[in-house]
Structure 1
Amino acid sequence: MADIPALAILLGNMMETISYNTDLIGRAMSNDLKGLCDDLAVLKASIKHYPEWQKDKGAIKNLENEIRDVVFEAENAIDTYILHASNQRHRGFLARAFHTTESASVLRSLGKRIAQVRAQVQNIQRSDLPSIGLDALQFDEISYMRTKKQTPLFGADKVIGFVDSAKDVIELLTGRSQRQSDQLEVISIVGMPGIGKTTLARKVLSDPMIDYEFFTKVFVHVSQDWERKDVFLSILTSFTRIDEAMNRMSDDALADEVRQRLKYKYLIVIDDLWSNDAWDKLKSAFPDNKKGSRVLITTRNVAVAHYANTKNEPYYLGFLSPEESRELLRYKVFDGNNCPEELQAYEAKILDRCAGLPLAIVVVAGILRNNSKATHWWMSVAENVHDYVAKNDELGNDVIRRSYNHLPYNLKPCFLYFGVFPEYFEIPAWKLIRLWISEGFIEHQRFMNMEDVAEFYLQELVDRSLVMIGQKRSDGRIKTCRMNNMLQDFCKKQAVEENIFREIKRFDESTSAPYSSSHNARRLCIHPHNLEHIKVKPTGDYVRSFLSFAKEQIQLPQEHISFIPKAFKLLKVLDIGSIIFSRFPAEFFYLLLLKYIAISCHFKVFPGKLSTLLNLQTIIIDTSLRALEIKADIWKMPQLRHLHTNCSTSIPKGNWAFVGD
């Protein structure tokens, strides 16, 4: 069930939109909008800590749906009018005169809709919601963030446990205790979901003995939803930069390219292999070069392991020992320090019920971490662990849901947003932070800029063991991050329930079925291998974000791209870096509400008309050329915070005071 406090962010975003665009809406609406803002501020303060007193889950669900409908209705009405008013402002004198009657009609319609929304909000206020002061709450949050930010998570990259298992697998790969075969061999690690197969494989791959034995080492994820081409391209990134020519190659040609690169003794780790068919489609790329090369597979399916290697038994990964379990829990909760004596009885009870399953221990540790010294909290978790920890496939979702339910309201949409990225995608932290801000997930704080708040949120999710650090910067800050596939699956399902986003995965060319559910969606993310089906031209009256992330890029005819402004008129976030543009689509200038745009291109000049998009906060341009000229007068774009390019860029001279906060 969704949590009502997350709706406080929606309310805050709408109030911000009204504040930024009062001049466009006009004086006639100023009093009604001010009244609506006041009503929403009271409602926002009231629901911020709603679950602390409301125990009736049915009442929570009903109230949640009512508030969401009210906020979405108001947001749709206001954004639609702002778009209309912006278009009217950009028209010439005669065109404005011609559309005067239409504008008056739209304004009257907005007035009626706002009056209806105010009545609904006031009706909600008359319920028994308690009133909570916003200023004090925000100050407490900021103080906590400042304190927490100075104490980064200790040893975030350390791997706990699997010492004996790592030795066993390394022995299987190197054959140190017996004569090693020069022929290509396949070794499999088998275990249930959440038991640590991927962690063990990474630990093995980073071992010095493996460095010594194998000239080439590659780690590649497959998972249930995979594409043969993506796997081969991922392997090739270990050898070379993927260019446009490679992106256009067929699967078989890429397999041949991989074979040619694997000349010396190699170790390929194929993580999360689900089926025999997947192995059949991949194995041709791995040559037997008679140098003792190995392929290491992780899978939850014993049959797949036996199919990949009929001669040898797979390695069955067991549960953590009691000592390893205790070390892992203390590492995650106390940064490796000892557990206080008064909590050790509860610690033992929790570990007993986690039954040595790493995922259970890690996620439960995330629940305990921010109340690490509170005896009553440990008692509560210890008593309830048995409700959601068991040795079966349902474990993951049960544990993750409990951890999700204990997240603060402001972290929930940020956590669920990880579901928009492809599985095992290495996410640049800077880009994630820009997206969170543009999506409206980061609230304004009185003494911190939004980027610092977002970075704190990310560190919080890492500290709660819900997000993994990929790489760190030289100053210790997070450079890239990723998410466990079980957690990401939860994010995708929960996001649909809360209308955070919808994912378009598969497509039937004879219908537009994947888009049929997008009518009420606020955000759409589309898998890269479905981009070719954009020619169906989906529509979504209320879509605010259109996202597509991929390791490879494709080039689509211009006519299949121009539909975006027509189909998604209220778009605020557009990240389609997986599509290459030969010119900047002129149709994008109609997206007057746009806050964030990320595109890939082959053109040399970024047009001056871009400066008419006054709501833009972030511009990201990835070009294949060495230089880019930006003709847009970015200094006249009052909300622009970030401009990212991957090449030498010239911009108009201006006053720096116009940029940033």
Structure 2
Amino acid sequence: MAETIVEIVLNKIADILSAEADFLGKVGDKVDLVNRELGFIQRFLRHAESKRSQNKLAKHWINEVRDVAYKIEDALDEYFVEMKYIRPSRVPFLFLMKYFNPDPLHSLGTKIDKIQVILREISERKDRYEVSLDQDKEWQPKQLLRRRYMLEDIDETEVIGLQSDKNIILNRLHDANLSRCTVISIVGPGGIGKTTLTQMIYKSAKAAFNSHVWLTISQNFNLSDILRKMIDLSSSEPNVQDEGHLIEPMEEDECHLIANLKRLLSGKRYLIILDDVWNKDLWVQLKAALPDENNGSRVLMTSRSINVAKSADHSMTPYLLNFLNEKESLDLLLKKALPFQNPDEICSSVLGEVVKPLSKKCKGLPLALIVVGGILSTKDPSYHAWKKVLETMDWHSDDGKDCMDVLAMSYEDMPPHLKTCFMYFSSFPEDYEISAKHLIRLWTAEGFLPPRTRSRTMEQTAEDCLDELVQRCMVQVSSRCTNDSIKNLRVHDLLRDLAVHEAEDDNFITVFSKGDVHQPNRETRRVSLQFCSSQLIKDINPNTRSFLLFGEPLPKFAAFRLLKVLQIEGIMQGIELTGLNVLINLKHLGIRNCKNVHIDSRSFGYLLNLEILDVRGTSIKPHTTSMEPHTTPMEMHNFLWKIDTLRHVELSEPLSGPASSEELEHLQTLRWILVSETWRNELPRLTNLRRFGIKNTFREWDIVTKVLTTLPSLVSLGIKGDKIPLEIVNMSCHSLQSLYLEGKWSVNLADNASLFPPHLIKLTLVGSMLQSDPLPELAKLKYLKKLRLLKHSYLGKKLTCPAREFVNLKKLEVSQLIQLDVWEIREESMVRLNYLKICGCRKLRVLPEVHHLIALRELKLESMPHIQG
């Protein structure tokens, strides 16, 4: 994590030196010296980070580097806040300010002098720490590897929940239609049972192969050693799997080893197990040694990374191992705790009141269930003894350390920026469903991401990071958008616990949950308050950069003037949001799902570095004490559109749009705004806008048409208004993928489906008042994946899905069509539909025939009084 903090600080220094060198004067030279010294130290951080878990001295040195980076960041941010720093283009006389108020510049110079002394001391200590990097180890890799085999010795008759998985993989191994050498991959997070499942398969399948080898791959594998092991095992034809011990080195180079192994395996139908593969380079290097003679040879690979699995064999879909369900979890836990007793009888006894919440604590992770079961097996099988385990269970104690070490291997394998992104999950409450879009915006505001290239935005770089965390099985995707990007995600409780532990260990985030009474670490720069006492706020570091508040009373933000991120969620009582005017550095302001939030609109005039404003689900009201009579919430736009750093604006209530003279070239999201009368003469500059939501109260649609023609990057559009002319959408937005239309149309849909953008994949209609059945025309949208027909979008009595249409549709929602009486879905229609929701269609008495919807996985019926069951 220190490496990421140093990278953030170096980027900040580089920006300052390029923009403010003349203004800083001699202090600029001092800042440059600090920049070079810190850059030198950064070169050694990656090596030290790799030793952090093994070496206390390395960890101490890393903490020193992190703390001095924080000091530099504090000094620079405090200076610019003192100067009320805004861009020179805004204040032409900025360069004169140093003559009238030199104290902030002098204070910065003094702080930099002290920091230089600390940096020199850190550099001098580096050599001493480097000498000791291999000493004082807390644990060895081989010890950790042995912990991974906790599941391996379980008798197959005791295994819970893996029998169906075993049969599926065995069918793939023995598939007679696959004669080529095929790589079959099993993927899942640490502790989910990949090795156990593979052992079951290996025992059942190896007799069908002439040669079989089991190899456990280390994170830092050596190809020559792997080849030597395979040669040795293939020559001796062992009857048991190899436990990962290396044979003595042979005096042969890799080319000779590859040739020898290929010769040994030639003419044989072989089965090779590669257990726990971390790096896709392994298969790239190893496949040259494995002959493919179309005899049904197989390679069975386990990995924590989907990308590693895919890279080995692009034609075979990796097999994702799922967490155990509630019953399987209970059975496994009780088999370990009380192996000779009936699980059903235990659950129906008083012990069931304790064992069920203990099982839920493990969230279906087999390794965790085995650990907890092992703890219970050492206790008296009584309610009070097991209740004590439930109340005191700590995954980072001696009892749970083995489990957390296995999970931590995945964390330690990640590059620094991914570790930082992962630790950030600790800032969300347990079992919280996280919006991917929201998370990505928080990451970008925090500055966690690697430098972006010209061809990719910060958001796209963040999406790559999130995808990689998914591929590494560190987070779970709970839903996807119609374009298959991640919509919502969750983090397994144990992985979240790992994130909390690592974040607090690194002073990265302090997390307070309900019932916590411990005092916050004064050095931390980020705080997450999750439904806990507001009394803790008074002890929080005034240099805090991020506040994430869930259902909490608000602190006085004027005390945290270096704040960059402020996220508030779920406060139901009316609140006065004060002190925003001092938050010069604020980049992200999120106020989600709160009631009656009072803000002085003039505060936005000070937030000149704001990039993200998200107030969805929140009603913004005038400040009740300081609002002047002529200032109303609708006039917030007078201040908001002067912030030229804005990139994403999400509003609950429509606000007047930016004036034509405003330059908002960074703006990518703007929802919802009112059509501005000033756009008749000159249009706003929104060339990078990708998501746009607009409400037209004039009914003069020529203005909207003019605006849409200037948005070449638009992919998502929402329009609210009356008598919407459908032509404006197709005429202006050929690249549009998502369209939301709320309001009555000026034309009927019949024979007008061609007016929609041709590549539309998501369509929502509300209040369209259509008289004719829209489905026959909408079926012509060949790329449509999601369709929502909502309240009063159709006033007719019958819907008909034509045969062999909607071939790509995956999600369909029909809601509050109050006249709908008959609905027919003809055969071979909607063959990919997996989600169907019908809500509030109160006259609909018979469901459409859905038996031929072969892909349907979820059917939801809500407020349907005439539908039984």
2:107 maps to which of 97, 106, 109: 109
- The answer to whether the 8 Å contact 1:605/1:631 transfers is no
> Separation in 1 of the partners of 2:575 and 2:522?
30
Map 1:586-597 to 2 at 5 A: 586-597=578-589
CA separation of 1:501 and 1:53: change in aligned 2, threshold 3 A: closer
1:420 maps to which of 427, 448, 459: 427
TM-score (norm 2): 0.43
- The answer to whether the 8 Å contact 2:191/2:403 transfers is no
Residue aligning to 1:279: none
Q: CA deviation at 1:523?
A: 0.7
> Separation in 1 of the partners of 2:645 and 2:75?
22
CA separation of 1:604 and 1:488: change in aligned 2, threshold 3 A: closer
CA separation of 1:370 and 1:596: change in aligned 2, threshold 3 A: farther
The secondary structure found in structure 1 opposite 2:615 is: strand
Q: CA deviation at 1:658?
A: 5.4
Residue aligning to 1:479: 487
Residue aligning to 1:641: 647
- The answer to whether the 8 Å contact 1:366/1:465 transfers is no
> Separation in 1 of the partners of 2:573 and 2:583?
17
CA separation of 1:375 and 1:12: change in aligned 2, threshold 3 A: farther
**AA at the equivalent of 1:455:** E
> Separation in 1 of the partners of 2:52 and 2:425?
29
Q: CA deviation at 1:594?
A: 1.0
> Separation in 1 of the partners of 2:108 and 2:42?
22
> Separation in 2 of the partners of 1:368 and 1:89?
46
**AA at the equivalent of 1:652:** P
> Separation in 2 of the partners of 1:617 and 1:104?
30
Residue aligning to 1:525: 528
- The answer to whether the 8 Å contact 1:13/1:440 transfers is no
Q: Deviations over 1:550-593 (max 9, x none)?
A: xxx57x5xxxx362222x23211110122257576342111111
CA separation of 1:55 and 1:616: change in aligned 2, threshold 3 A: closer
Residue aligning to 1:541: 542
2:37 maps to which of 36, 39, 59: 39
Q: Deviations over 1:133-154 (max 9, x none)?
A: xxxxxxxxxxxxxxxxxxxxxx
CA separation of 1:484 and 1:535: change in aligned 2, threshold 3 A: closer
Residue aligning to 1:133: none
- The answer to whether the 8 Å contact 1:326/1:351 transfers is no
- The answer to whether the 8 Å contact 1:571/1:593 transfers is yes
TM-score (norm 1): 0.55
**AA at the equivalent of 2:428:** F
Residue aligning to 1:143: none
The secondary structure found in structure 2 opposite 1:410 is: helix
- The answer to whether the 8 Å contact 1:595/1:616 transfers is yes
> Separation in 1 of the partners of 2:53 and 2:437?
39
Q: CA deviation at 1:453?
A: 1.0
CA separation of 1:406 and 1:105: change in aligned 2, threshold 3 A: same
Deviates more, 1:390-399 or 1:427-436: 390-399
- The answer to whether the 8 Å contact 1:519/1:542 transfers is no
- The answer to whether the 8 Å contact 1:601/1:622 transfers is no
How many residues align structurally? 432
Residue aligning to 1:564: 557
> Separation in 2 of the partners of 1:632 and 1:39?
45
Percent identity, aligned pairs only, is 23
Residue aligning to 1:179: none
Greater RCO (Cα-Cα under 8 Å, separation 6 or more):
1
- The answer to whether the 8 Å contact 1:442/1:454 transfers is yes
CA separation of 1:471 and 1:436: change in aligned 2, threshold 3 A: same
CA separation of 1:324 and 1:52: change in aligned 2, threshold 3 A: same
**1:77 lines up with 2:75 in the alignment:** yes
CA separation of 1:420 and 1:68: change in aligned 2, threshold 3 A: same
Q: CA deviation at 1:57?
A: 2.6
Q: CA deviation at 1:427?
A: 0.4
Deviates more, 1:632-641 or 1:430-439: 632-641
Deviates more, 1:646-655 or 1:48-57: 48-57
- The answer to whether the 8 Å contact 1:602/1:623 transfers is no
CA separation of 1:576 and 1:46: change in aligned 2, threshold 3 A: same
Residue aligning to 2:504: 496
> Separation in 2 of the partners of 1:582 and 1:401?
42
Segments of structure 1 that go 5 or more residues without pairing to the other structure are 130-160, 167-192, 200-317, 334-340, 353-363, 383-388
The secondary structure found in structure 1 opposite 2:544 is: coil
Q: Deviations over 1:195-228 (max 9, x none)?
A: 769x9xxxxxxxxxxxxxxxxxxxxxxxxxxxxx
The secondary structure found in structure 2 opposite 1:645 is: strand
Q: CA deviation at 1:498?
A: 0.5
> Separation in 2 of the partners of 1:366 and 1:484?
22
Q: CA deviation at 1:39?
A: 3.1
Map 1:79-478 to 2 at 5 A: 79-86=77-84, 103-125=101-123, 127=126, 162=161, 320=197, 322-323=199-200, 367-368=278-279, 373=284, 392=371, 393-447=400-454, 448-478=456-486
Larger radius of gyration between Structure 1 and Structure 2: 2
Q: CA deviation at 1:319?
A: 6.7
**AA at the equivalent of 1:578:** G
> RMSD of the alignment, in Å?
4.8
Residue aligning to 2:9: 11
Q: CA deviation at 1:108?
A: 2.0
> Separation in 1 of the partners of 2:98 and 2:51?
51
Q: Deviations over 1:499-546 (max 9, x none)?
A: 1101112458xxxx54x3332221111112x25x35964442221111
> Separation in 2 of the partners of 1:12 and 1:89?
20
CA separation of 1:408 and 1:102: change in aligned 2, threshold 3 A: same
The secondary structure found in structure 2 opposite 1:443 is: coil
CA separation of 1:539 and 1:502: change in aligned 2, threshold 3 A: closer
The secondary structure found in structure 2 opposite 1:644 is: strand
**AA at the equivalent of 2:615:** I
The secondary structure found in structure 1 opposite 2:102 is: helix
Q: CA deviation at 1:476?
A: 1.2
Q: CA deviation at 1:32?
A: 2.1
- The answer to whether the 8 Å contact 1:468/1:483 transfers is yes
**AA at the equivalent of 2:605:** S
**Higher normalized helix content (fraction of residues):** 1
> Separation in 2 of the partners of 1:103 and 1:428?
45
Residue aligning to 2:801: none
CA separation of 1:605 and 1:117: change in aligned 2, threshold 3 A: closer
> Separation in 1 of the partners of 2:465 and 2:484?
16
Residue aligning to 1:613: 607
> Separation in 1 of the partners of 2:606 and 2:35?
27
**AA at the equivalent of 2:110:** K
Q: Deviations over 1:365-401 (max 9, x none)?
A: 584567555669x9xx99xxxxxx8953434201112
> Separation in 2 of the partners of 1:634 and 1:37?
35
> Separation in 2 of the partners of 1:622 and 1:29?
43
Residue aligning to 2:174: none
**AA at the equivalent of 1:454:** A
Residue aligning to 1:574: 566
CA separation of 1:585 and 1:603: change in aligned 2, threshold 3 A: closer
- The answer to whether the 8 Å contact 1:637/1:658 transfers is no
CA separation of 1:617 and 1:584: change in aligned 2, threshold 3 A: farther
The secondary structure found in structure 1 opposite 2:417 is: coil
The secondary structure found in structure 2 opposite 1:442 is: coil
Q: CA deviation at 1:40?
A: 2.8
